[in-house]
Structure 1
């Protein structure tokens, strides 16, 4: 060990008695200082502007130090340029000068030479980390409630990557007496390790090899804040592999050429051992994780962890059905398998026995993909064959429409890329969606997993009286938020089962979660109305949505509740919208129905209600009644006058019977019936849940409908995967302080290093 340390000390002195180490240090300090002050300046400007720009300061620690736009990410993009310059002469210098022969003839072991020189490189890497540590301490002072765990895991990631690059550079230095050749070769190896995960991914064998070899994403995961033994082991294995290669290379110079096969065997054996260790450390059951971030942002939420725990020890099977002629095929083709593995890794952490299968087929895609338009005159099979050829895949690996339909009917899924989850004897679908994210998030995945273990909430929509449809996607219908499989926020993708019921022909089941009566146009008569009243009397949950002018239809339904739709219609004064276009306010109580709504609650949140009746309720009702939505007292009023949207500006007139005030437009009702809590919502408007409104932006409609529905399930669905709000969202810095940072990091520190290096080099030269 003493010999190794002496070699390390000597090598380190050689590094710092040459300009290169000082030059790299100066450049590193300047680049880090320039980037840090620039990004701090951007956030400080946003903070001073205020308003909506303050949103950019959420998770400020990640914004300043993180992977995507932060300091560590910038370091990772540039640091590979530093190490080849540092390592290119570590061994090649000895070879070119002939001193390597003296080392061979000395009692020093090859392993001591390699370890000593590598320890010197590790020490220099620590100096670079110390430089980053200065910025970390500055960040602690600059960022209020900084996420300490995230910044220190980032330092670990950068150091592991630096040491890995150093080991690779050390080996490449063993291969040539020309330093420039060693540097270029090192860059080539870096490039191979960076891009190996993107080539020949259609081959299952090479895909598994490249998954281990690829360095992309290894440090990034740790920088995001999640330390796992798989990625840490990867860096250690790669370091050991290239150090071992270096020893073999130097040792081979001592051995006769006749023993070249033995040397090749050493290389091969070491490589096999490395791959074996990489495979073992990559097994889900052997991976350990540590998330030191505030609120454990890189870990599944406790809710999802509980869902996975409820699955027990029984295995979970995920089968992906991927259509060759579907426009999403590129996201599921064989070359994308490793990305799919990465998406499931957070779940494998808590349930290692998840297995994956992939079934490829071709069949008529969804209606939004008109194949005949793009492939005129070609049959489906010919189109599929052309697609397989363009993807460089064997068409025989794809099942025909007849073959896939014998296995599973995917027509209701529009023959889209879909995943089927199977647990014991239960199955459910996990879908891709028509939005920017496309793949399911933790919320949708958790909902699908929970469907496999619990009794599903059943919601019945009453039909027969021309109610709003749960299937149609028209502006006034409810299909978008109920049954549209391509909408991630639809009830069908959030854990609910829905169906229809005609009260004229069917009885209301006792085990349903909710009965929905959405804007009936015809009054319920006789037996149908009696069924509703009995359902209410037994304690069934109910949602009733009325409309202005439908008082005679809706009031008989809700009469037992002590609630009624008032005569007339609520109107609102507005310069932009029609008077009947009401913008109701969310009450504090309605915000408390969901964690998401509660976090985002503001007094001025508005719910669009295009035409609403005011609600009247009895104070001494058997129910506990609370307003969910109320009209704006300052700008709206109740009128019995017929509204013509394109007439003159509507004005309040008490002479015409107009009544001012803040009227409830949606009510929640609760009571206990036979030990069960009954929950009911009555709304004076049915349009606020229509496809047109929940698709819209700038209102709370799209955030409100799912929490309201989930209220009836006592929080069982939808799955709440929300996290506490970011606390690191403010800078403790002024413009003057920023200027001081720029002077210090862009002038004083680089200048100080230049001065120290110059003095040391001059003294060295004089000696």
Structure 2
């Protein structure tokens, strides 16, 4: 160990007695300073303007610990390998050219001690180099309110691991040539190639795993994001050991007069051991994780973890179906498999390692779909597939032919134009869909698909039909398919664990086990038989959701009277110049905001304000009272300033309405757009919601906007959807003003580099005199 330290000290002194090291240090500090301090000045300037012009400004989008330096860190990772070859290019060949290597070899010093000593010396210089980044990161820590110290340490660890790996590679290359310039250029090329190797021959399974392991591209991403994993740490250690080992073998082979096969076998054994160790150290279930972020930003939500804990350890098989002809085919092909595994499924594998990933490739077109035939006239489906195959550089021989995929799974109701995953657990199957942007599903979508195959109590939501109600299957601008059964909407019921279907009360009784009955804006009165079945459902303690519309209050009032609710005649209006007079933004009140955990509702609960809103286009006032054990509470109030109930003829595109008490118009201080009712019956809480507008849940008005499926969630006892907790970031403001930021800029860009330059000049001049 003493010899290693002596060689390291000698190497460190040699480097610092060279002008190259000081020039690199100064230039590196200036570049890093510019990259880190420019965004700090911008944030400080914007914050001062916001505070001056908007006293209610809450702050930047967090976490500022990361967002402030996100682009800067990315650029510095790119710049890092430009400087290291200048430091490593003469590490070994300098000793060879000076003749000192022969002296070292003839002395009682082993090759291992020489290489390790050189690397330790380089590491010391590496620490000096990274001190610039450390200084800037921790300047950021003190310049941001509530910044996360551990996160910055994780970022610095990422820089250190990457630069140490570069140092080891550079040291090895300096062994294989006696020319420093050649070694420097070769090191640049090696860094370039080792960052690109992860994209080579990705269509082949075995080669893909090897090249992915060898590639440095993206290896620091987890560390920069605040997630330390044993897989990443082992990777950097193994790569450093690999190149230091290669350097030792290279130097050893130059000392010995043995056949080339001896050196080759040593190289082969070392590489094989490193690859095998790397493979097993990255297997699911054998990887340790440490999320240093305060809010656990790199960890799936506790609700999602609870869903995975409901599984008993049996295999969860996920089959990815890729249609060569679909718009997202590239993301499902083998070339993108590592992105799919490590970019999406890795966070779930962390908590349930027994997820088995399978792949199916096919090409097919839905019956009756002529889109591709129109774009490629006079070609059949096989010729069209061949065109796509050439585009993606694949062979159609590896894809199932049209119709063959249906023998494996039933895709009759699925969209073939998107990537599709099928989950299987203990013989039960469910689909997990992908979307436009971002491509992969959210945690709530994954949780819904898993629970569909692990539980038997998926809520059944039945919409009545037969009276021209809003349909959960149609996708018109006034229909309800947008928030119920549209597969392309990640927030719809079908993708979040609720099964929506229709029911004709005239032809069928309400099935036992119906979780929620929805009566959505019927345009004609229900028959006595239908009314009796609804009444029977209420008496049994069933949950209901009523959607009303002005002008048809009488249709629902016959059912609502029995529970103490009355839809008042007329339409709410307020004259406006550039907007429809009957359109209002309604916000859920304090009672309503605790009904569910939709994102806007969680934020409203946290800040104590009515922030969850929806657009109501045509609504009436709801009167209510407690009766039959029901407790009635308003959930969507509307302040009544300048608003009245219009009972006369209302024409949207005519002149603005005028308040006319003689025509039956009336006014009050507050109107109610939504009411909830609860009572205890049959050992459970019965829940009913009445809304005076159906349009706000239509695609035309954002499928419920902030409220979304929150009301449905409450009506099924909040079992679905599985909501993620909305994260509240504390680091949303900088702690300095633009003046102090400007001072820091001058100190770090001019002052400290000038000081380093002076110190380096003094040391070099004194060394020259000696």
Who is 2:509 aligned against? 507
Matches of 2:557 and 2:440, distance apart in 1: 44
Aligned residues: CA RMSD: 1.7
Aligned CA distance change for structure 1 residues 205 and 730 (closer, same or farther; 3 Å): same
Distance in 1 (alpha carbons) for counterparts of 2:129 and 2:515 = 60
Q: 1:60 pairs with 56, 60, 64, which one? A: 64
289-298 vs 686-695, which deviates more? 686-695
Tell me the distance in 1 between the aligned counterparts of 2:737 and 2:392: 55
Deviates more, 1:331-340 or 1:595-604: 595-604
Distance 1:593 1:368 in 2: 43
Provide Cα deviations, 1:282-302, integer angstroms capped at 9, x if missing partner: 111110000111111111111
Q: Deviations over 1:626-657 (max 9, x none)?
A: 22212232242212111112322223333433
Q: Which 5+ residue runs of structure 1 have no aligned equivalent?
A: 696-700
CA distance in 2, matches of 1:298, 1:212: 22
Aligned to 2:566: 564
Could you tell me which residue of structure 1 aligns to residue 681 of structure 2? 673
Which residue is equivalent to 1:403?
404
CA contact (8 A) 2:429 2:453 kept: yes
Partner of 1:645: 652
Structure 1 stretch 384-393 or stretch 356-365: which is displaced more?
384-393
Match of 2:522 in 1: 520
Is the partner of 2:705 in helix, strand or coil? helix
The 1:736–1:45 alpha-carbon spacing in structure 2 relative to 1, beyond 3 Å, is closer
Q: How far apart are residue 385 of structure 1 and its match?
A: 2.3
The question of 1:73 aligning with 2:74 is answered: yes
State the alpha-carbon separation in 1 of the partners of residues 757 and 369 from structure 2. Answer: 64
Could you say if the C-alpha distance between residues 115 and 38 of structure 1 is closer, same or farther in structure 2, counting changes exceeding 3 Å? same
Alignment size in residue pairs: 757
| Equivalent residue number for residue 467 of structure 1 | 469
Residues 584-593 or 306-315, more deviating:
584-593
Inter-CA distance 625–45: structure 2 relative to 1 (3 Å threshold): farther
Deviation, structure 1 residue 169: 0.4
Given that 2:617 and 2:695 are in contact with CA atoms closer than 8 Å, whether structure 1 keeps it comes out as: yes
Are residues 738 and 487 of structure 1, via their aligned partners in 2, closer, same or farther at CA, if it must alter by over 3 Å? same
Is the CA contact (8 Å cut-off) linking 1:301 and 1:723 kept in structure 2? no
Alignment check: 8 A CA contact 1:481 1:694 kept: no
Quick one: distance in 2 between partners of 1:689 and 1:519? 11
Secondary structure of 1:474's counterpart equals: coil
**Contact conserved, 2:60 with 2:733, CA < 8 A, in 1?**
no
Change in CA separation of 1:273 and 1:77 when aligned onto 2, cut-off 3 Å: same
State the distance in 2 between where 1:226 and 1:369 align: 47
Alignment of 1:216-615 (within 5 A): 216-256=217-257, 258-342=258-342, 343-365=344-366, 370-415=371-416, 416-434=418-436, 436-454=437-455, 455-595=457-597, 596-601=599-604, 602-603=609-610, 606-615=613-622
Is the CA contact 1:516–1:543 (under 8 Å) kept in the aligned structure 2?
yes
What are the Cα deviations for residues 171-190 of structure 1, in whole angstroms up to 9, with x where unaligned? 00111111111111111221
Query: Whole-Å Cα distance in 2 between the matches of residues 447 and 165 of structure 1?
Result: 44
Q: Secondary structure, in 3 states, of the residue corresponding to 1:401?
A: coil
Does residue 754 of the first structure (1) align with residue 739 of the second (2)? Answer: no
Residue in 2 aligned with 1:46?
46
Distance 1:309 1:107 in 2: 59
Question: Structure 1 residues 365 and 765, CA, compared in 2 at 3 Å: closer, same or farther?
Answer: farther
After superposition, the C-alpha distances for 1:484-535 in whole angstroms (9 at most, x for unaligned) are: 0011111000011121111111111221211011001111121211110110
SS of alignment partner, residue 659 of structure 1: coil
Query: What's 1:22 paired with?
Result: 22
What is the deviation of 1:86? 0.6
Q: Secondary structure at the match of 2:285?
A: helix
CA-CA distance at 1:47 after TM superposition: 1.6
CA drift at 1:723: 3.2
TM-score, structure 1 length as denominator? 0.96
**In structure 1, distance between residues paired with 2:190 and 2:527:** 80
Superposition deviation, residue 622 in structure 1:
2.5
Q: Which residue of 1 aligns with 2:691?
A: 683
* Ranges in structure 2 where 5+ consecutive residues have no aligned partner: none
- Counterpart pick for 1:711 among 711, 714, 719: 714
- Give the distance between the partners of 1:65 and 1:506, measured in 2 at CA: 62
1:693 to 693, 696, 701: 701
Distance 1:57 1:721, change over 3 A: closer
Contact 1:295 1:723 (C-alpha < 8 Å) held by counterparts:
no
Tell me, in whole angstroms, the C-alpha distance in 1 between the residues paired with 2:181 and 2:663. Answer: 92
Work out the CA distance in 2 between the residues paired with 1:55 and 1:395.
53
CA contact (8 A) 1:630 1:663 kept: yes
Provide the C-alpha distance between the structure 2 equivalents of 1:627 and 1:195, rounded to a whole number of angstroms: 60
What per-residue deviation string (whole Å, max 9, x for no partner) do you get for residues 542-578 of structure 1? Answer: 0000111111111012122100110111112322211
Encode CA deviations 1:350-388: one digit per residue, 9 max, x unaligned. Answer: 111111111111110598881012111111122112222
- Paired with 1:755 and 1:367, the residues of 2 have a C-alpha distance of 77
SS at match of 1:629: strand
Would you say the 8 A contact 1:140–1:146 is kept in 2?
yes
Could you say if the C-alpha distance between residues 368 and 644 of structure 1 is closer, same or farther in structure 2, counting changes exceeding 3 Å? farther
Q: Check 1:53–1:201 CA distance in 2 against 1; reply closer, same or farther (3 A cut).
A: farther
- Post-superposition Cα deviations, 1:104-151, rounded to whole Å, max 9, x if no partner, equal 212111011100010011111212333222223322221111122211
CA distance in 2, matches of 1:640, 1:367: 49
Paired residues of 1:583 and 1:632 also in contact (CA < 8 A):
no
* 1:590 CA displacement: 2.1
Q: In 2, distance between residues paired with 1:734 and 1:762? A: 41
**For the Cα contact (< 8 Å) 1:143–1:728, is it kept in 2?**
yes
Q: Counterparts of 2:585 and 2:705 in 1: how far apart (Å)?
A: 14
Q: 1:55 to 1:326 in 2, by over 3 A?
A: farther
C-alpha displacement at 1:54, in angstroms? 6.0
Deviations 1:441-473 (A, max 9, x none): 222112212222222011111111111111111
User: For the Cα contact (< 8 Å) 1:26–1:753, is it kept in 2?
Assistant: yes
Distance 1:447 1:720 in 2: 10
Cα gap change, 1:716/1:403 in structure 2, threshold over 3 Å: closer, same or farther?
same
